[in-house]
Each structure stands twice: as C-alpha cells, then as structure tokens.
Amino acid sequence: MAETLPAAGPEGRFDDPALEDQYDQERRALLEPAQGMYGGALLVLTLAAFIVTQLHSEGSLWKLAILVAVLLFHELGHYAGMRLFGYRDVRMFFIPFLGAAVSGRREGAAAWKEAVVLLLGPIPGIAVGIVFFVWNLRSPDPLKKDVMIALLAVNGFNLLPLGGLDGAKLFQRVLFSRHRFLELGFLVASALGLALLALAIKSWALGVFACLGVLVLPHRHRVLGVVRDLRDKGIALPQSPGQLEDPPARALFLATRAALPERLRTRAKAIANTMREVIDAAQPAPGLGAASLVLAGWSIALFLSLSAGTIIAAQSLPENWRRYNIDGAGFTAEYPHEPARFARREQTPLGEMNSWSVMAAQDLLHKYTVQYYDAPKPLDAAEAKRWMDQRLDELAREVHARIVADGVEHDGTRLARLSNGRRVWRVRLLTSGKRLYTVTTSSPEAGPDGDRFLASFAVVPE
C-alpha cells in the first residue's frame, strides 16, 4: 500500500524522523547527483577495453580502427546535441563487445530536443556514408569501401526500432510515451525483435543486450505507475528536479519509495535515481508538428541507408561468370553477373552524341564496362587511329590517370593500361563499321578476372 503524506506541522514534515532524514538525503542526491569518473579517463579506459574485446572478432587492425572512428563520430553527434540543448554531466564511453554510448541528464530539455539528440547520432554518419558511397561508385577504392560500409551499417542499424537502439528510443519518446501500456507494449516488442535478430545472425552480444531490455521492464513499469498515480492525485511534476517544490517533492518521494522493492528502499540514492526517471517519464511527448518533422528525418535517413545497402548487396553478389548477348549492342562478353545498360548524352572525340554503357560491378571494387556509340560514317584506318588517340587521352583525363602501356594488335585493336597509383584501368579500343567500342576493366590491381572480361569481348556480325 502506498504511503501518504502526513499532515503534521505547518511545514509538512514527516512525523518519522528516520523518514524525514531519508527524504533530505534523497532530495539532495536528486538535486546534486554524484559525479562519475572524469569523462576523459572514462572514455580512454572503456575504449581500451572495447579494442581488446574486438581484436579477435575484427581480425584486421585497420578495420577495427575504422569501426572505432565510426562509433566515435556517431557518439559525437549525440554529444554535440546534448551540449547544445543544455544536458548536464555528459559523458562518452565504450561498451565492450557492443559499441559506444553517451550519457547525460537532460535537465528539462523539451521532448523534441531529446528526439533531435537521438537523431544526431545516426543521421550525420549516414550522410557521410552516402558521400563515401557516391565517391566509391565513381572511383572505387578499398579504404572508401570499408569506411562506407561501416558508416552505413552502424548508423543504419541504429535507426531500427529495436530494443535499446536510437530508433527504438526515438519511437518510445515521440509516439509511445503518450500512454503507459502502449509504451510498455512497444518496449516488449522492440526487445523481442532484437532477440530474434540476435538469433538470426547468431550474435550473443545482441542477445545479452535484448535480455537486458527485458530485465528492465519491471522497473520501467514501476516508474510509469508512479507517474500515473501522481497524475491521478493532481500532482504535476516540473521539467527538471531543480524546479521541484517541497510538497510535490515529498509526494514524489513517497510514491517512488512505495513502488520500489523493499530491498531498494534503503539503498543509497536508489530512490533519488528513480525519482529522476519519474520526472523524465512525466514529461509530455512532442507535439504533432515536431513529431512529424522528427519522424520524417528518421524515415529519410533510413530510406537512404537501406537504398545504399541494397546497391551494395547487389554489387557484392557471388561471382557467376557467363556470357551475355546484349540486344542491339552488337557484342557479347562475359560478366560476373547480369550487367546494366544505360544511355546518356556525352562529349566524344567525334562531337556530342548519344552513347550507351553496359556495366557490371563486383565486390564494390571491380568494374567491367563496354561503352559504345555510332560514328556518322565508318572510319578509315587513319580516322580510327585518331579516334583511339583522342579517346584514350580523354579517358586518362577523366579518371586522373596516366597511360603506362599502349599497343596495337594485328587486327587494329588498341590495348592500353592506365594507372593513378591506386587503381589500374585496362582498355581495349576497336571499331566495327560505324560502331566504336571502349572496353574497360577497372580495379585496385590487374587480375585474371579483368583478363577474362577483355578476352571474352566479341563483336557479333550483323
């Protein structure tokens, strides 16, 4: 049964001196919470622990360094948002096996600001990931690829509405905090969703995280119950503990103390910590306009990360080399999977005209392309040589590379190699009637797959 506020004395003090003393201690702890470890030391020590736990699973120091940098960038977004909106005691730390986090007391920040803080972690990372994604499409590179995948994977994953992730916290605050049982139902569903994902990908770390989400549900139920009881009594709680006056503070203390298990009622600062949670939980959800804007930002970021992830997955399919005969292109060639064809208007050595490209990418690093267009008339040997010279120079300028090898086969086919120190382009130039072909492989280094593609190219007689 919940304790009631005794009507003893004009100052409303508790008749029980021990209860009054405990109230004074918890009130001071609520207003002046103990400071934890110095932020810099906490970050360094937890970062060291995280690195040690990840060394075996990552296998590559370089990929581990990228992961740490991406996590830091993600958490710096949260950190900057908390600082901007006046959070106190803001600290960043790493969690072994799982990742990193930022903690802080929001001290009366409006609910929409809390939602923005949640988005400031994943959205900047996704934006930078999209930049690397486009950059890597234009000029593939192993470093760009690893950074891109880490940025999109870490931040896109955090947007999912699964237990404990930024997406789940966002939905909980913006949508489901409007009703007690709605919020509890969502917390159960999000924790179970994370547990199912952990089973699907066989991640014991996510499984532990999901279990923790389930274990805290009884405590959250008690916190929301205190909020309901105080509202039923007509007791309104302020936005921050510093604005809490004595009569409602005593009512909050009694309701919180009664809701906690007996073993926690005398534990130092346990009541104060829960009182702070009750004050936070009692704050209203964002208005319709703010909620719509926040959810729109979440939707756009998730759409971009999923779209990029779909393209990445398509370019990472297992190799299945076979010959393709492209209708109307006048050639056949072997590709690692079905190529895409697209047309565009571009400037060529013969002037501006329509050209077509048939291209397939492999493992986000290797490109196999046939680009072709039709000249106004068939070229003689001199004109074909002039076209090849101009086309090769144009390609070198386009990819910022220099020609390191060049030669002409007995059938008039031009073979060349270009390099910029990071990638190698091998080019085959040839003409067939009025049609002009540029056959290109591009990869970090020359390999047998490029040889296979170039050798497989064949013009189909009309």
342-395 pLDDT per residue, tens: 998 888 888 888 899 999 988 889 999 999 999 989 999 899 999 999 999 999
In the prediction, which pLDDT does 289 show? 93
Average pLDDT of the segment spanning 132-161? 92
Examine the pLDDT at 161 and tell me if it is beyond 60. Answer: yes
Phi and psi for 412 in degrees, rounded to 5?
A: 90, 0
Burial of 61 (0-12, 13-18, 19+ CB in 10 A): exposed
Structure tokens at 64: 């581990």
Query: What whole-number percentage of the chain has pLDDT above 70?
Result: 95
Residues in contact with 171: Cβ distance below 8 Å, sequence separation at least 6, in sequence order: 161, 186, 190
**Helices 180-201 and 217-232 sit at what angle, rounded to 10 degrees?**
170
Examine the pLDDT at 5 and tell me if it is beyond 70. Answer: no
Structure tokens at 291: 């909620």
Average pLDDT of the segment spanning 167-186? 92
Q: Check: CB of residue 23 under 8 Å from CB of residue 40.
A: no
CATH number of 322-459: 3.40.1000.10
**CA atoms of 76 and 39, how far apart (whole Å):** 13
Torsion angle of C-alpha atoms 249, 261, 226, 79, degrees rounded to 10? 80
Give per-residue pLDDT as tens, 222-242: 999 999 999 999 998 988 888
**CA atoms of 33 and 22, how far apart (whole Å):** 15
Instruction: Look at 4-18, 118-132, 210-224, 392-406 and tell me which has the smallest mean pLDDT.
Output: 4-18
In the prediction, which pLDDT does 462 show? 66
In the prediction, which pLDDT does 231 show? 92
Give per-residue pLDDT as tens, 406-440: 998 888 899 999 999 889 999 999 999 899 999 99
Q: pLDDT band at 446, cuts 50/70/90?
A: confident
Query: What whole-number percentage of the chain has pLDDT above 90?
Result: 57
Torsion angle of C-alpha atoms 366, 69, 161, 229, degrees rounded to 10? 180
CA-based R_g, the chain, Å: 32
* Domain chopping of the chain, boundaries: 33-215+285-315, 322-459
In the prediction, which pLDDT does 3 show? 42
CA neighbor of 148 nearest in space, from 161, 162, 130, 169: 130
Q: pLDDT band at 34, cuts 50/70/90?
A: low
In the prediction, which pLDDT does 11 show? 58
Examine the pLDDT at 76 and tell me if it is beyond 90. Answer: yes
Where do the H-state alpha helices sit in 331-460? 381-399, 448-456
Structure tokens at 55: 């060394």
Torsion sign, CA atoms 254, 260, 261, 263: negative
Structure tokens at 451: 């040889």
- Mean pLDDT score of the chain: 89
Q: pLDDT band at 292, cuts 50/70/90?
A: very high
Q: pLDDT band at 52, cuts 50/70/90?
A: confident
**CA atoms of 401 and 397, how far apart (whole Å):** 7
Burial of 10 (0-12, 13-18, 19+ CB in 10 A): exposed
**CA atoms of 81 and 75, how far apart (whole Å):** 10
In the prediction, which pLDDT does 58 show? 60
